[in-house]
A and B are shown apart, each in its own frame.
Chain A
Amino acid sequence: MVEHLGFGRRLFLGVNYAALAALALLCLLPLIHVLAISFSSSQAATAGLVKLWPVEFTVSSYEFVLAKPAFTQSIGVSLQRVLLGVLVNMLLTVLIAYPLAKEAKKFPYRTAYVWFFVITMLFHGGLIPLYMTVKYTGIMNTLWALVLPNAVPVFNVVLLLNFFRGLPKELEEAAFMDGAGHWTTLWRVMVPLSAPALATITLFATVGHWNAWFDGLIFMNSPDNYPLQSYLQTVVINRDLSLVSSSDLKALAEVSDRTAKAAQIFLGALPILLVYPFLQRFFMKGIVLGSVKE
């Protein structure tokens, strides 16, 4: 289509492109600034010389941070948590979404189950009762305390079940005609057809577990078991010096509190920055498909 562009239209487009580019930069620049600080010398950082490019390039803050056992340990806890947590989340999401995607005619208990799960979205016991529950189940201070209370991500279940419902009914019927049961239909027909939705939900679950910090803070008795974000909360946000050993303090004098924090912030964001571009193209599709209903 050939569109004749008048002056007003071209002016608008120019301003529009510029405004959108500015907004997009606004989202990236703070991150780039912190990245630049993390690679700058402590003197340059404290003197406020660093803008968007490292000044007096050095990796000493990364050496300092990665030599801290507490930091690397917390990365280990986070990785375990993501692995176990996402596995549990995905398994349960698929297993719950399939029966709930059935029509009430085909699975009369569906409505009861739906309410059972929806109520948990609407009404919570609150912080203290949850804390007590975790305490009484005896999983305090273990990885399970970070995994089991979030085992059923109801929102993701909703996304997936809406996706399942959008698939052609004939496929399911054909599978049953061929003698497949529910389990075979689920794993052989529904799951392979749901790759975009499953990729989206995996991204959400991964990001959710990687980013979680509060449960680590309250369910882990010892900072040794903190996942990375909980650990960062105590050292980057709370400026809790009790977790910094005396040898750390000596090293801190050389790398400066600011560059060390910047390095930790960047390392904490790094896994997200790495997986994001690959999964990003899925989630736009996945969300839209999961939210649009006939």
Chain B
Amino acid sequence: MLQKIKSPYWPLHLMLLPGVLLVLVFSYGPLFGIVIAFQRFLPAKGFFDSQWIGLDNFRYVLDLPDSSRILWNTVIIAFFKIVVGFIVPVVVSLLLNEVRKEMFKRSIQTMIYLPHFLSWIILGGILIDILSPSSGIVNQFLVWFGIEPIYFLGDNAWFRPVLVLSDVWKEFGFNTIVYLAALTSINPSLYEAAIVDGAGRWKQTLHITLPGMMPIIVLTLTLSLGNVLNAGFDQVFNLYSPQVYETGDIIDTFVYRIGLVDAQYGVATAVGLFKSVVSLVFISASYYLAYRLANYRIF
């Protein structure tokens, strides 16, 4: 007993205690709430007295005419965000790497990181204004060039490209950070050897810089696999409208509407559970791949 009290670990346990308690309540607590996916949940009756209905909520959602469309929207939007959102930062960091003037490089970095720190409320407000078909500055320019104004946020043909481009616009700068870090860790003697061998800038990029970035490229790509069902609730919710549900409604916005707007708690939880389980599979796979391919561990 005395031995136990004298254990050198108790200050460490004590440090972890508040965090553990909060995570228990607010992260593990909701995990128990998942039972309502299998209930006809009525808030007045609570978890214990609501009627159990097995998989009915899941069947109900599957029978909805919209469900395959919502899944497709989610995957396609997330996919393009991952691909374009990967290419742009890699290219930009390669371009930044060629800049020899430190001041110029720093100023550019400061500016391109900024949108990352602004909320989708702020950026959504800005986008709604500049993309407005009547008064937005983008359409003013289009008209100037003799092009008909486009209702970017109300047109199903345009909504997804706008989502992908504006997401890349927000994040590309910030995402260059990891690539720039990888670039600085490439051994300079490799470049010197290449110059001696007569390799020009382009050859150096091809044979030294890109291979040097490969581990981090493999890592970011495999880790982004875990996001195939995350098409970006904050962004979509603040830019979409019923006109573009057809191409823009994603799982998260759908869960919000059926859950908190229509108060179909059980159905919304079932959809959320489906998303969580599929995401878990993808995230686990991506972490495993990242570990195998790039020897990556979070801790």
Contacts and interface: CB of A to CB of B under 8 A. Distances in A.
A67 B224 CA distance: 45
B212 interface: no
Contact of B22 (A132, A148, A161): A148
Interface string B74-88: 000000000000000
Question: Of A45, A125, A273, which is in contact with the most chain B CB atoms at under 10 Å from its CB?
Answer: A125
Given A27-B114, A28-B111, A291-B181, 13 more contacts: A16-B95, A20-B108, A33-B137, A99-B16, A107-B12, A126-B273, A129-B269, A132-B33, A149-B26, A207-B117, A211-B118, A280-B110, A287-B181
Nearest to A261: B125
A170 B276 CA distance: 43
B121 A229 contact: yes
B299 A34 contact: no
Contacts of B127: 30
Contacts of A26: 169
B98 A16 contact: yes
A137 B135 CA distance: 47
Main secondary structure of the interface of A (DSSP, over half): helix
A163 interface: no
A169 interface: no
B133 to A, nearest CB: 12
A232 interface: yes
Contact of B99 (A17, A95, A158, A183): A17
Interface residues of B, number: 82
Contacts of B16: 95-96, 99, 113
Main secondary structure of the interface of B (DSSP, over half): helix
A96 B104 contact: no
A213 B117 contact: no
Contacts of A132: 30, 33, 36, 265
B238 A99 contact: no
12 contacts: A19-B95, A28-B114, A30-B127, A37-B129, A92-B18, A109-B13, A116-B23, A126-B273, A126-B275, A229-B122, A258-B135, A287-B177
A182 B117 contact: no
Contacts of A293: 297
B111 A27 contact: yes
A98 B107 CA distance: 35
Given A24-B108, A27-B173, A133-B33, A276 B98 contact: no
Contacts of B185: 292
A114 B19 CA distance: 12
A2 interface: no
Given A34-B126, A130-B26, A280 B15 contact: no
Contacts of B243: none
Interface in A110-146: 113-114, 116-120, 122-134, 137
A277 interface: yes
Contacts of A276: 114, 117
